[in-house]
Amino acid sequence: MIVGGGASGALMAAHLLRRKPSNLRVTIVETRAQLGRGLAYATGNPSHLLNVRAANMSAFADDPGHFARWLSRQADGPQTEGDPGFHLVSRGLYGRYLESLVREHLSGPKKRRALTVARDVACGVTVTPSGVEIALAAGAPLHADLAILACGHPSAVDEGPLAVSPWAEPASAGAPRDAALLILGTGLTMVDTALALQEQGHRGRIVALSRRGLPPHAHRAVEPMRIDADAAPFDQDILTQLRWLRGLAREREAKGGDWRSVVDGLRPHTQAIWRAMTPRRRARFLEHARPWWDIHRHRMAPEVAARIGAMIADGRLEIVAGKIVAVRGNGEGATSPCAVAVRRPSKPSPSRALLSARA
């Protein structure tokens, strides 16, 4: 039993069913009509792109070209020349890929299917002597030997009068097209929102605010560097690891390379690095290093970075470092005028805090 049919649930089902064991029966509990989408891949906006190239987005580690091959068979796949594995495609298209992994198991006679979908909401899980019982909002309880919780990220946000969900189309809030808008956060969700506002004809000023005012860097077509885990200080403290990472990036750039290949080369090792960290080291990383790691690791597609850069150059988008200290509004909704007081940092965030980080 898999509770949740978004990206994690669909991937789990695909892996369980891949070898088609005769005695395996999987049920996904999901309310959405589409599987594999969740919050991340439910967007229908073609400008909302993946932040990882297609070559690294296969559902199966032992078949890294799986997604690229699927992509090459799609009529609406990348039409530009070159290896499709280097493209950063739309998140909606990737959601369709994830759905295809489980759709193939939903065909054929119903009694013989290894996969079924319960269109309902799971309200609770109870461990029983024979396994688990899943309580549903509308249907009868389901029973299984094992329950896998793939509930994903909560979609609820602050329901106060000044809040607008980042998962909704910005135009749905009803703000005038010449209104000045504030976006809290300067990461990839901000990028998606700013692009959507531009496409919907918004003319007013857009301000994106975060504590450090750090937008994501842009992708480049680079080959990941091969990093030997035995030669890396993955078991050392955060400062030692960062010094090693900076040194590796400087060495790479001195030879005409790019720091991105160093960051991408860490991809196979990130899980092992995190698991090796003590709770104290994890806390230090999250407090001090994560914002800079995020902008180097979770980057924008080049065409997206160009559009965001143009919006900044034209004054349509401003990225600000600071912290909200007060919000004064009339309480009549998110589209009503309000005043936001921001405390700016005394010193700007250093642009080279993690790597040399050229554009």
Looking at residue 131, what is its pLDDT? 94
Enclosing H/E stretch for 183: strand 181-184
Residue 198 lies in a domain: yes
Three-state DSSP state, 35: coil
Task: Assess whether 310 and 280 both reside in one domain.
Answer: no
The angle, 0 to 180 degrees and rounded to 10, between the axes of the packed helices 91-103 and 7-17 is: 40
Pairing state of beta strands 131-136 and 142-144?
A: antiparallel
Looking at residue 326, what is its pLDDT? 86
Tally the domains of the chain. Answer: 3
Task: Assess whether 24 and 145 both reside in one domain.
Answer: yes
Residue 107 lies in a domain: yes
Beta strands in 142-195 (DSSP E): 142-144, 148-149, 181-184
Phi, psi at residue 127, to the nearest 5°?
-80, 130
Task: Supply 31's token pair.
Answer: 């309310």
Task: Assess whether 315 and 188 both reside in one domain.
Answer: yes
CA triple 208-7-286, angle to 5 deg: 45
pLDDT in 10s for each residue of the chain, 359 residues: 999 999 999 999 999 998 877 788 999 999 988 999 988 898 888 888 888 888 889 999 899 899 989 988 888 776 555 555 567 889 999 999 999 999 888 876 666 788 999 999 999 999 999 999 999 999 899 999 999 999 887 665 555 555 666 767 776 667 788 888 899 999 999 999 999 999 989 999 999 999 999 999 998 888 889 999 888 898 888 889 889 999 999 999 999 999 999 999 998 899 889 998 999 999 999 988 899 999 999 999 999 999 999 999 999 999 999 998 888 876 555 556 778 888 988 765 554 445 544 44
Rounded Cα–Cα distance for residues 227 and 56 (Å)? 16
Contact 26, 53 (CB under 8 A): no
Residue 212 lies in a domain: yes
Contact 172, 344 (CB under 8 A): no
Q: The domain spanning residue 193 has which CATH number?
A: 3.50.50.60
Rounded Cα–Cα distance for residues 34 and 118 (Å)? 12
The string of DSSP codes covering 263-317 is: HHHTGGGHHHHHHHS-HHHHHHIIIIIHHHHHHHHSPBPHHHHHHHHHHHHTTSE
Three-state DSSP state, 339: strand
Looking at residue 173, what is its pLDDT? 67
Amino acid at 65: G
Looking at residue 305, what is its pLDDT? 94
| Listed residues 100, 117, 149: the one ending a domain | 149
134: domain range? 2-49+90-149
Residue 125 lies in a domain: yes
Task: Assess whether 203 and 284 both reside in one domain.
Answer: no
Contact 56, 267 (CB under 8 A): yes
Residue 70 lies in a domain: no
Task: Assess whether 99 and 138 both reside in one domain.
Answer: yes
Amino acid at 298: H
| Listed residues 297, 324, 352: the one ending a domain | 297
Task: Supply 103's token pair.
Answer: 């759709």
Task: Assess whether 37 and 129 both reside in one domain.
Answer: yes
How many residues are given for the chain? Answer: 359
Task: Assess whether 305 and 292 both reside in one domain.
Answer: no
Residue 14 lies in a domain: yes
Residue 121 lies in a domain: yes
Task: Assess whether 118 and 33 both reside in one domain.
Answer: yes
Q: What share of the chain is helix, strand, coil (3-state, %, to 5)?
A: 35, 15, 50
DSSP state of 181: E
Residue with tokens 């249907």: 139
Task: Assess whether 293 and 304 both reside in one domain.
Answer: no
Task: Assess whether 137 and 233 both reside in one domain.
Answer: no
The model carries a pTM of: 0.78
Taking the CB of residue 257, how many other CB atoms lie within 10 A of it?
A: 15
Looking at residue 359, what is its pLDDT? 40
Task: Assess whether 277 and 174 both reside in one domain.
Answer: no
Residue 165 lies in a domain: no
Determine the straight-line distance between the first and last CA of the chain, rounded to whole angstroms. 46
Task: Assess whether 211 and 240 both reside in one domain.
Answer: no
Looking at residue 106, what is its pLDDT? 86
